[in-house]
Structure formats: structure tokens, C-alpha cells
Amino acid sequence: MNNIELLNTDWLNLKLGEMIAKEDKYLLLITPYINLKEETKKSLKTSKAKICIIIQEIYDKNEERKKKKLEDFQKLKEYLSNVNFIETPDLHAKIYLSSNKIIVTSMNLQNYSQNKNFELGFVFDNEEDDEICKKIIEEIKLFLRKNEKDETIPDKLYYKHCANKKCNELIEKKYKYCKKCNDDYKNSQGGN
Ligand SMILES: [Zn+2]
């Protein structure tokens, strides 16, 4: 049974900051609006994780403001050249996903340390066999497919742990064992 925790604004800031700073496998950050504080930018830039950020397409009725927003976004993309940014229309959900946690919340990734809004969210373990986790990933895939963006999400998002409990490496879902375990297995069988 998955452990679900309810988070208020302060806890969301803390958990999200931790997730971004500590993750070394993959991060999928879904946030309609993005405005990162310096610390978060640095965490993302130096992260070893494979990172994808999905945002709402930039628009503004005011041409000047729109131009400014596009310039800021361009600068961010240049700085975070290690991040795969995807822009989609009709995005309102906020979901933050790492190899071991999922946060579903009302909170955008927007200067979150200074965020004084009333926000709530849930955090739970990202478990391969958990029904809710599977459904969340399925809904994200459906949304991206609807917008013809699913090709831009690497299959790498869909990792699981190696079936060998002692190893527990993160591998693509299409494999049962990781390369390391397969080799070990072959060697222990006398090189078959
Ligand atoms: Zn393994």
C-alpha cells in the first residue's frame, strides 16, 4: 500500500526542492508556469538526471509582454541546455515526478520559496506496481499523445528497478534485468 502524505505550501517547497536537488535518474516536471529561483536553476543545470519540463505554451494578449516572456524562456532554455523543454496548449495540471516520488499539486514551479499562495498537494512513492502511479503516467502519456508531443518524451521516463533485488538498478521497462545482471547471470552459468 502506497504511503500518501498531504503537503501544505511550506512542505511542498521543501519536498520539491529536495526532489530536484537529489534526483540522479530522471525528473519530469509538469508546470504550466515556470519561474525558477537561482538555487533551483543551478540544481537543474548540474543534475545528473535526465530532465524533461512540460509547460503551457507561452502567450499573452499584450505583444510587448509576450515578447519579453519569450525572451526569458529562450534564455532559460539556453542556460538549461541539458533539459528537454516541451510546450503544450491546455496545460493546467502540476505534477512532479522522479524515480522514487510523485507529487500531484496545485503549485506551479514558480519562485516557490517565496510562494505565499495557499497550495496543497500529495506526495507518494513512485512504485512500479502501484495502480495510481500507473494511471498518472498513463494520463500524462495520453495528454502528450493528444498534443502529438509523446515522441519528445523519452521512453527513459518509464523506468523500473531491475528484478534482481540485490541489484535494484534502474532500467527501461522493456527489460527484465539490467545489462549488469544479465552478464553476471551468464557468467555464473559458465559463460552461456
Ligand atoms: Zn541488475
CATH of the domain at 53: 3.30.870.10
pLDDT band per the 50, 70, 90 thresholds, residue 108: very high
Same domain, 132 and 47: yes
Are 165 and 88 contained in the same domain? no
Per residue in 139-170, pLDDT (tens digit) is: 998 898 888 776 666 554 666 778 887 887 77
Ligand 1 mean position to 95 CA, how many Å?
29
Q: Do both 170 and 145 map to the same domain?
A: no
- Asked if 168 and 106 sit in the same domain, the reply is no
Do 185 and 116 sit in the same domain of this protein? no
Distance from residue 176's CA to the centre of ligand 1 (Å): 9
Confidence of residue 76 (pLDDT cuts 50, 70, 90): very high
User: Torsion angle, CA of 21/22/27/30, rounded to 10 degrees?
Assistant: -50
pLDDT at residue 127, as a whole number:
85
Task: Indicate if 85 and 165 belong to the same structural domain.
Answer: no
Kindly indicate the confidence band of residue 192, based on its pLDDT and cuts at 50, 70 and 90. very low
Better pLDDT: 112 or 15: 15
Q: How far is the CA of 159 from the centre of ligand 1 (A)?
A: 13
- Cα-Cα-Cα-Cα dihedral sign, residues 102, 105, 108, 112: negative
pLDDT of residue 157: 60
Q: State in Å: Cα 125 to ligand 1 middle.
A: 21
Same domain, 174 and 119: no
Looking at the 3D structure of the chain, how many domains does it have?
Answer: 2
Q: Range of 186's domain?
A: 158-192
Residue 147 and residue 94 share a domain: yes
Measured in Å, residue 178 CA sits from the centre of ligand 1 at 4
Instruction: Report how far ligand 1's centroid is from the alpha carbon of 184 (Å).
Output: 9
What is the pLDDT confidence band of residue 191, given thresholds at 50, 70 and 90?
A: very low
pLDDT of residue 91: 96
Do 167 and 97 share a structural domain? no
Task: Assess whether 150 and 162 both reside in one domain.
Answer: no
Mean pLDDT of the chain: 86
The answer on 164 and 148 residing in a single domain is no
CA of 186 to the centre of ligand 1 (A): 13
The CA 170 to ligand 1 mean position distance, Å, reads: 8
148 and 180 co-located in one domain? no
pLDDT class of 19 with cuts at 50, 70, 90? very high
Tell me, in angstroms, the distance from the centre of ligand 1 to residue 131's CA. Answer: 24
Q: Residue 106: its pLDDT value, please?
A: 95
pLDDT surpassing 60 at residue 81: yes
If one counts every other C-beta atom within 10 angstroms of the C-beta of residue 86, the result is 18
> What's the 25 CA to ligand 1 centre distance in angstroms?
15
pLDDT reading at 177 higher than 60:
yes
